[in-house]
Amino acid sequence: MSLKSVLLRGAAVLTAAGALAGLAAAPAAAKPHHDEPLVIAHRGASGYLPEHTLEAYALAVEMGADVIEPDLVLTKDGELLARHEPVLDETTDVAAHPEFADRKTTKLIDGKPVTGFFADDFTLAELKTLRAEERLPALRPGSAEHDGEFELVTYDEVLDYVATLDRKVITYPEMKHPSYYGDKGMSIEDALADLLEERKLDKKRSPVWIQSFEYESLLNIDERVDNRIGLNIDGQGAIPDATLDEYAETLDTVSLNKNRIFPRGADGSISEPTDIVERAHERGLDVHVWTFRAENSFLPANLREGSDPAAWGDYEAEFELFYDLGVDAVFSDFPDLAIAARDC
């Protein structure tokens, strides 16, 4: 579908006609660094199966994903577990295990109190007795049908799986909440660096990229390994040239919330893109973008179809907008949709 068609349809349902027209008139941005953008399977094929399970990663690979993304947290015994955050409540059946009822507690994460069951209060052996559950069952009932089927996995096990494949698949681990572990005298940076060194995956050419929302954490692990590293940047708003200059000296990638590139208006719609992709490319930084999902709940208002939050909207148009700007990679819960939009 052309951008013009997208905008005409959006204009029929929104009053922000001027902003929509601006989308169609937006100038082309910098030339992409790659022949085509890479597709990163966000937490695996997490639109179809419970996230961060070996089954979700394998489905993503089967769909053709170039990269799979395991978020990493630490267990009590220092293992790297593939989970999106230290708290287990939303993505496992931990609450159904009476033997662990006394582990529920309140801790500070990013300065905010969080109550639940924390991975760092469990050994890996204990965590292996849990089973994964769908985070968004109301939006993804098909995935929720697999609740209780899949065990939790370590990053070591993910690397074992990737080593069996007959094509190159990059893993893109994200160190979650490094400061949280640092406050406890634990180092997620050292745990990851130790594993990569042990497996001889600590080189620039290694099929492992490293990411974090914490800049200092990336600088710390960069002292141990030579892998490509990228900073995740949330929110929206301009990133100053001086900041990009600093990142260009220390990083390989900036990984941006979509709103940094196509800001959302008060009504949830998007209009003209910023120039962040072009400015990052001028400094030699790759630009990765997150997160692409098919459901109306996550799409810009001018790309939603109908009022059902779980229904799929015009996700193809959203991919097209970002691909046309020359981004280097996209994170998607639906890697097959990202690939189809890229290759059409």
Residues assigned a catalytic role: 42, 84
Closest-CA residue to 16 (of 325, 203, 320, 270): 270
Query: In this structure, are residues 158 and 46 in contact, taking their beta carbons and an 8 Å threshold?
Result: no
Task: Provide CB contacts within 8 A for 10, sequence distance 6+.
Answer: 20, 269, 302, 303
Starting at the edge strand found earlier in the chain, the sheet holding 170-171 runs 80-82, 71-74, 174-175, 209-212, 228-233, 253-257, 286-292, 329-332, 38-42, 67-69, 170-171
Task: For residue 334, give both structure tokens.
Answer: 């639906």
CA atoms of 60 and 64, how far apart (whole Å) = 6
Q: Are strands 71-74 and 80-82 parallel, antiparallel or unpaired?
A: antiparallel
Is the peptide bond between 92 and the residue preceding it cis, with omega within 30 degrees of 0? no
Which residue type is seen at 172?
Y
Closest-CA residue to 165 (of 244, 272, 54): 54
Region of 245 on the Ramachandran plot (φ > 0 left; ψ -120 to 50 alpha; else beta): alpha
Q: Beta strands of the chain (E only): which ranges?
A: 38-42, 67-69, 71-74, 80-82, 105-109, 112-116, 170-171, 174-175, 209-212, 228-233, 253-257, 286-292, 329-332
Closest-CA residue to 47 (of 328, 317, 297): 297
Burial label, 25 (beta-carbon count in 10 A; 0-12, 13-18, 19+): exposed
Element (H, E) at 316: helix 315-324
Instruction: Compute φ and ψ for 334, nearest 5 degrees.
Output: -120, 75
